Each structure stands twice: as C-alpha cells, then as structure tokens.
A and B are shown apart, each in its own frame.
Chain A
Amino acid sequence: MVRYRESKISAHHNYLVNEMPTPGFVVGNPDKQEGFYFLGDIVLPGESTPRISCRLLTEGSGDLLLELNWNRIQSNPEACIHRSIPGGFQVVHSSGDVLLEVRTRAFANGYLTRIKARLYDENGDLRMETLGDSIRVHDAEKPVLDSPFSSHA
C-alpha cells in the first residue's frame, strides 16, 4: 500500500506545518504554568490573522525567553522586539537573531500562514525548526486541532 502523510485542511485558514496545511496545531502543553509550548490556534471565518501563543525558552539554560498570547507579548525578560513585517510579524532578540517569524499570505478566499523559528523545550530538545517553506514540528502534542483551543478573549 502506498504510504501517505495526512492532515486536516480548512477552507479558510491553514498553517503550513511539516509541509502540510493544518487548521491549527499545538506543541507542548499551554495549560501548564511553565515549560515550552507553541499554539497556532484555529482561525475562524471572518478573521484574517493567525492566533499564535507560545512560551519560548533559551536553548541552553531553558530559561524563559518570551511569552506570547494571541500574537501579543506577555513576558519579555530579554527585551525582544516585536515588529511588523508585510503579512505578519517578527520577534527579534536583542542579539539580532530573529526568534520567530509569522507571515500570512492572503488568497482570494483564504489564508496560509508560514512560520519560521528554531525552538527548544525545557529538556534542551529541538521541538520546532524551519524546513524550507514550512515549520517542522517534532512530537506535536496535537498536530491537528479539531476546534479552537482557546475561545475569543
């Protein structure tokens, strides 16, 4: 039998993850108070921006680097800069490294979001890395969300 990779796909908005579109995905556990997580939440018809929440840790020490809640900075101990770019935003470390880039392309009737990042968890494991055009996710908790993780604030 021919093996295949599969995902769900939304008519409205998808993130490009592991070279496949997906309506939403979660890495790690957002409900825990600490530890790495990354959430690309489902975008509902009528909305045009992705919903990114995450807790990023430094590579070596696993200290808190940045916390985003629905695209907005919550905690920022290393004074990273959040800046807009065409179609999205970047979070840039004071050292100049781009920690995270989120860019959304609009089609006539839908949207596709591409993420670039290189992210480690509290065990020092590499959990997300840019792969060509898409983000490669290692061991996602939920590679495909069936419904929005968090409701509208």
Chain B
Amino acid sequence: MTESINIVVFIKQVPDVPSIRIDEQRMTIIREGVESIINPLDCVALQAALELREGQGGGNITAITMGPPQSEEVLREALAAGADQGILLTDPAFAGADTLATSHVLARAVSKLRQFPDLLLCGMQSIDSDTGHVGPQLAEELDLPQVCGVNEIHIDGKSLVLKRLSDGFVDTVRVSLPALLTVNKDLCPVRDLSLGEIEVAFSQREIIRWTSSDLNLQRDEVGLRGSATHVRKLRSPATRTGGKIVTGSPQTIVDTLIQKLESMSILDEEDGN
C-alpha cells in the first residue's frame, strides 16, 4: 500500500568547475565566461525525488535554493523536470555564508513550509566548495536522522531501506521518515531536460522568493556575519614547477633515483655508503 510522499530537494547553482580558470595574480577564480549549472549531485537528488514520487503514486516535490537572484535559473530547471514548486532564498545579507549559516537559512525555510516534508534530499557535496557539510548541518538543525552517500533508496511504509558506501563498506541502512539523505552519483542516472520543457517552466509556474525578513532571520544569523569560518586567502596548489632533469645511462638513472629515495628516508641508506 503506497502513500504519497512529500520531498524537499536542495539545489545549488555552481560555476561549471572544470571550465574554471584562475587569476594567478589575484588568486581568485575568473567567473566571466564560466557557465552556471546545477550542482551535478543535486541533479541526481532531484531525479531521485521524481522517481520516488512516481513509485509512490504521488506527492509534492519542492526545490529550494539559496543564492543570488540569478539562482532562479536552477529552480526553473527543477520545475521543468517536474518539481511542483521552487523556493528561492535570496537576500544580499545571505552573501558570504559558510555552511553553518547556509544550513540555518535552509532549515528556517523548511520550517516555514506549510507541511513538514517526509524526505529531504541533497547532493553529497558541491563541486565548488566540496565540503559536504550542508546536509548533515541541516539535519542537525531540523533534528532529523541523516544518511550520507546514499546510492540506493527503497521505501518500506514509513521507513526507508537504503544502501550507501562508507569507508570501503557497503552498508544497508534502515531509517524512519522523516529523514535527510545526501546522495552520491550512483543513485540514479540523470535525465536530460529538453529545451521545450524549460520554456514551459519559464512561462508558467511561479517561484516563491523569501528574504531574511520572510524567514525571521536577524543579520547576525546569516551570511558572513552568521558564519563561523572565513576564507582568509586563496592560493594555487600548482606552485609546482619542474625541478632538476637528469639524463644518462639506465644505471645512472637508477642510481640517481635510489639516492633520492635514500635522501627522503624512503629507503634506508646502504651500509658502507
């Protein structure tokens, strides 16, 4: 006996990281010419939500994003894919938020929904900040059980039976709803959106916009001021430059290598050397 399921999916607009270039002088990323996309794992989360809803024969899917006004694009894509509503949390005060502040804003938004969802889904991590913290921190604030890195979901009445990969083990996990899951790429393949659907999304459904005051948030709870961490500097890892180059007979090469390994204490020096 299946019951409809209400799902909230958290999505984030991120720069298309593989095409990012670095401004070596100022140690910042060059955003011009870099496309914005939905964080790939959030697409997986959205697709999973759609499939779960279909499997259960109904339910409401809400996509939520926190970001600058242009983040609305990702909500349009979510609506085109089949989400029922999109909520954009946008406010200049939200800028500069770390995951602590971000999870706080997102949690507040969930609490403001008319009905608390059965299931909350996020991608396991984003390709820009790579932390993977927002899911667990959101679960903590909403006092929900969390399971991270999920690659299989089955609904069993009011519970979920999940599979996930963790530290070299495949775990089968059981958790009651409501719960928060973060998903990994193996959960499901993502369906491509056709342009036509996106146009439909643009013309029809509305996106709800909430600011700090809609969410009853004070300035010191959000954005940079509500953050515990601060990036003081960005630097390039590729401070690698080529070093010494050695040519010679194979034995010379081998001896040079061995000498280097000894100097690094990876090989013990031979007696008599």
A and B directly contacting (CB within 8 A): no
User: Footprint of A on B, CB under 8 Å?
Assistant: none
